[in-house]
């Protein structure tokens, strides 16, 4: 184990490699830089590497270059195939990170992918945490994410100062894969909540009620939610600039419905919402924010602009 990872035995902050600088990864890596960490990043888009460098990070030319001297490697990519692509193979993380490094995968992937990654990494002397997040782009920018973690307590304790620079609610949920299981449940709740909000918006609109006033009062009572707080302006302004894309929520709904089937859990409402998300995607709206579920309800109601 490197000195930087020996917790209280050394005051130095660990050197961090960050792989994946998308909507979430860029602001998250920048928050670590603001917190005083040395961050070396890699992604496929040059403009995002330039953004990292402008924020005070170091741009790497490859995964191997980014991780070779890192104490902690953090990954934030779209799905299981991308995690596997960057983790395995001669150019991947496991072949190029040093023994004793801690790999924190913050992507939203299947629980089984996380379990398999932890097993493969152990053979290389690399520890792993699965640590998906909730809070969307705004939560990433504001460093108020919820972080649900799977793995060993000792590794969680080492990683916690890093998590505290990224989020507000940070919980070790159990062994490897547990973080991803909780994230799948999170995505189920969020999708159903957005769908309910979208249906309420169309109902209120067609009833001629002052929509802003109605959403304000609803959000002050039992119907209130973080989803409504975060997405109210999207609904009011029909602004669906992606903070979390329908494409990604479609992937996540596939994860939760498949995982639920494997454990024998019925998701009757979740299954319907998964189909509505899939339908919106096939209609060409996959690149929009998941609040665009409103568009699907408006289409069904004959009111879409």
21, 153: one domain: yes
- Considering the candidates 183, 231, 232, 251, report the single residue annotated as catalytic: 183
- Which pLDDT band holds residue 2 (cuts at 50, 70, 90)? very low
Q: What is the pLDDT of residues 133-143, one digit of tens each?
A: 999 899 999 99
Secondary structure, 3-state, 187-215: HHHHHHHHHHHHHHHHHHHHCCCCHHHHH
Residues near 124 by beta carbon (within 8 Å), at least 6 away in sequence: 94, 95, 97, 99
Residues near 142 by beta carbon (within 8 Å), at least 6 away in sequence: none
Of the three residues 151, 175, 199, the one that is the final residue of a domain is 175
pLDDT at 6 over 50: no
Task: Measure the CA–CA gap between 18 and 287, rounded to whole angstroms.
Answer: 24
Of the three residues 175, 192, 213, the one that is the final residue of a domain is 175
- 181 CB neighbour count, 10 Å cutoff: 22
Instruction: Note down the domain range covering 30.
Output: 3-175
What's the confidence (pLDDT) of residue 10? 37
For the question of whether the overall pTM of this predicted structure is more than 0.85, the answer is: yes
What's the confidence (pLDDT) of residue 235? 98
What's the confidence (pLDDT) of residue 5? 52
234, 145: one domain: no
232 is catalytic: no
pLDDT at 8 over 70: no
172-193 mean pLDDT: 98
Contact at 8 Å (CB) between 262 and 296? no
- Which pLDDT band holds residue 304 (cuts at 50, 70, 90)? confident
Of the three residues 175, 199, 233, the one that is the final residue of a domain is 175
- 284 CB neighbour count, 10 Å cutoff: 9
Q: For position 188, which CATH number holds?
A: 1.10.1040.10
Q: What is the pLDDT of residues 26-53, one digit of tens each?
A: 999 999 999 999 999 999 999 999 999 9
270-295 mean pLDDT: 97
Q: What is the pLDDT of residues 217-230, one digit of tens each?
A: 999 999 999 999 99
pLDDT at 286 over 50: yes
Q: For position 95, which CATH number holds?
A: 3.40.50.720
200, 150: one domain: no
Task: Using DSSP, state whether 7 is helix, strand or coil.
Answer: helix
What's the confidence (pLDDT) of residue 67? 98
109, 84: one domain: yes
pLDDT at 60 over 80: yes
192, 91: one domain: no
201, 160: one domain: no
pLDDT at 17 over 90: yes
Task: Using DSSP, state whether 21 is helix, strand or coil.
Answer: coil
Task: Measure the CA–CA gap between 32 and 248, rounded to whole angstroms.
Answer: 24
């Amino acid at each position: 184990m490197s000195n930087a990872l020996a917790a209280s035995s050394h005051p130095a902050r660990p050197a961090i490699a960050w792989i994946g600088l998308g909507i979430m990864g860029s602001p998250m890596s920048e928050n670590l830089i603001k917190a005083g960490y040395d961050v070396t990043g890699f992604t496929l888009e040059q403009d995002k590497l330039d953004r990292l460098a402008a924020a005070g990070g170091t741009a790497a030319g490859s995964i191997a270059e980014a991780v070779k001297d890192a104490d902690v490697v953090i990954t934030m990519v779209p799905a299981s195939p991308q995690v596997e692509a960057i983790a395995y193979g001669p150019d991947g993380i496991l072949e190029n990170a040093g023994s004793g490094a801690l790999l924190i995968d913050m992507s939203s992937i299947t629980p089984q992918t996380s379990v398999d990654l932890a097993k493969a990494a152990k053979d290389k002397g690399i520890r792993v945490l699965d640590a998906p997040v909730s809070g969307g782009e705004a939560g990433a920018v504001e460093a108020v994410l919820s972080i649900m973690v799977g793995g060993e307590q000792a590794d969680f304790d080492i990683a916690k100062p890093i998590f505290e620079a990224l989020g507000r609610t940070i919980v070790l949920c159990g062994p490897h894969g547990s973080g991803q299981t909780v994230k799948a449940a999170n995505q189920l709740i969020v999708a159903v909540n957005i769908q309910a909000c979208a249906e309420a918006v169309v109902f209120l609109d067609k009833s001629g009620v002052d929509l802003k006033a109605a959403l304000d009062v609803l959000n002050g009572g039992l119907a209130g939610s973080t989803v409504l707080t975060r997405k109210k302006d999207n609904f009011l302004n029909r602004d669906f600039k992606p903070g979390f894309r329908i494409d990604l929520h479609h992937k996540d709904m596939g994860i939760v419905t498949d995982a639920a089937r494997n454990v024998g859990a019925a998701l009757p409402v979740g299954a319907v919402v998964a189909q509505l998300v899939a339908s919106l995607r096939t209609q060409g709206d996959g690149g929009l924010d998941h609040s665009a579920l409103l568009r699907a309800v408006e289409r069904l109601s004959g009111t879409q602009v």
